[in-house]
Structure 1
Amino acid sequence: MTFDDFRTLVRQTLRNPEQAAHWLIGQGWPMQVRWMALMLAVSVSGLLAYASTLLFPVPEGEAVAVFAISSQPLVLAGLQLIAIVLGAALMAGVGRLFGGQGRFEDALLLTVWIEVMLLIVQAAQIVLSLALPALAGILGILAIALFLWLTVQFTKALHGFTSAPKVLLVMFATLLVMGFVLSFFMAAMGLMPEMPQ
């Protein structure tokens, strides 16, 4: 993929994400290339998060776990890698439960591309934070909206679904179930914070 192809795909993703998803799937890239793209995306994301902590350090008393992780790019990249692979598995698996025909390989490619789109927003956010901090905050909210919108549209394209609201509803239900399951395992392993008496 050339840089011109990359720019064209970014514009196409914003204008018509389903068509962009079909183009990505149609390229037929081998699985090794998809894993390499994943590794590159999470590495760049970890470095951008680390650069952000260097440019905008958090005061000593206000450092929380998420900021502590951001200062460790390898840990952050590893967590993002797990999250993207899990997200791809859920995109493929849950979709197939509802009659879709999408494959994990294609879901992985699409979730990696969502990460790339978010990296572009993340880089723009860092630049804006230096000049216009208020706009950078708005860009962060837009990044969440972009993530949800692209996930819904890519899931539709992957499985051939037609209803975006239904896909969004199932996605939220899946997130709720995953949150419950993860909290159960964390509690069983003693990782949940103790409630004050």
Structure 2
Amino acid sequence: MNLNAVLRLLHQSYDHPQDTARWLMRLGLPRSQAFMALGLTAVIGSLMSSLAQMISDRMPRGTVPPTEDQAAAMAAFEAAFKPMLDLMASPLGLAGFQLAGTVFTCFLMHRVGRLFGGKGTWPETLILMAWLQVIMTLLQLVQLFLALTLPIVALPVALFTIFSYFFLLSHFTAALHGFASVGKVFGGIIATGIAVTLLLAVLFFLTLPVQHV
């Protein structure tokens, strides 16, 4: 696939997202290629995140000391998640963390959809998520470039990236499982995200050390 074909596929992903999803699923790509694409986008994304963090650290900014409660909360968070924070401190560890998060999103996309009568398969889910991550990586590259050259445009591009993720994820999920209502799919994605966030929050508080008064 040459550059022109990739650009056409990008255009079709926004113009006719569900038709694009069906075309991708008909390709029947093996799981190994889908996982390779997911791994590559995770590595590129982690490198961009590390570069953006380095640039942000070098930018001057005013500092406001945290309150005592804020400092205690930050210390508790760092103590509870120190192994994870240490892992994410390196680009390779961050890439692994991003890849794990993407695979978990694939699992939710597949299993929750099947729970509501969807017909999508696991290989098809991987293919669609791989292409979605390619698009997100390209948008992040544009966002990073604009942050360095034209910062005033970086925020609108960041908002467009967020919109693109939910827009494409909703349409790809609808095409994957044969759902007719994209609006209901979007609502299901938001509801699933809230449920997972609440579950993670509960697990976080359960891991906090008990303070005896």
Q: Which residue of 2 aligns with 1:187?
A: 205
Structure 1 CA distance, aligned partners of 2:9 and 2:87?
Answer: 31
Q: Which residue of 1 aligns with 2:115?
A: 97
**Structure 1 alignment gaps of length 5 or more:** none
The TM-score normalised by the length of structure 1 is 0.87
The answer to which structure, 1 or 2, has the higher relative contact order (CA under 8 A, 6+ apart) is: 2
Deviates more, 1:22-31 or 1:179-188: 179-188
SS at match of 1:48: helix
SS at match of 1:56: helix
How many aligned residue pairs are there?
Answer: 192
1:79 deviation in Å? 1.5
1:106 deviation in Å? 1.3
Deviates more, 1:140-149 or 1:177-186: 177-186
The answer to whether the 8 Å contact 1:46/1:70 transfers is no
The answer to whether the 8 Å contact 2:30/2:123 transfers is no
1:117 deviation in Å? 0.8
Runs (4+) off by over 4 Å: 58-62, 67-71
1:5 deviation in Å? 2.5
1:129 deviation in Å? 1.2
Structure 2 counterparts to residues 133-172 of structure 1, below 5 A = 133-172=151-190
Q: Which residue of 1 aligns with 2:22?
A: 22
The TM-score normalised by the length of structure 2 is 0.81
Q: Which residue of 2 aligns with 1:80?
A: 98
Structure 2 counterparts to residues 101-116 of structure 1, below 5 A = 101-116=119-134
Structure 2 CA distance, aligned partners of 1:44 and 1:8?
Answer: 22
1:133 deviation in Å? 0.8
The answer to whether structure 1 residue 34 and structure 2 residue 34 are counterparts is: yes
Q: Which residue of 2 aligns with 1:47?
A: 47
Judging changes above 3 Å, is the alpha-carbon distance between structure 1 residues 69 and 118 closer, same or farther for their aligned structure 2 residues? farther
1:16 deviation in Å? 1.1
Deviates more, 1:178-187 or 1:136-145: 178-187
The answer to whether the 8 Å contact 1:50/1:70 transfers is no
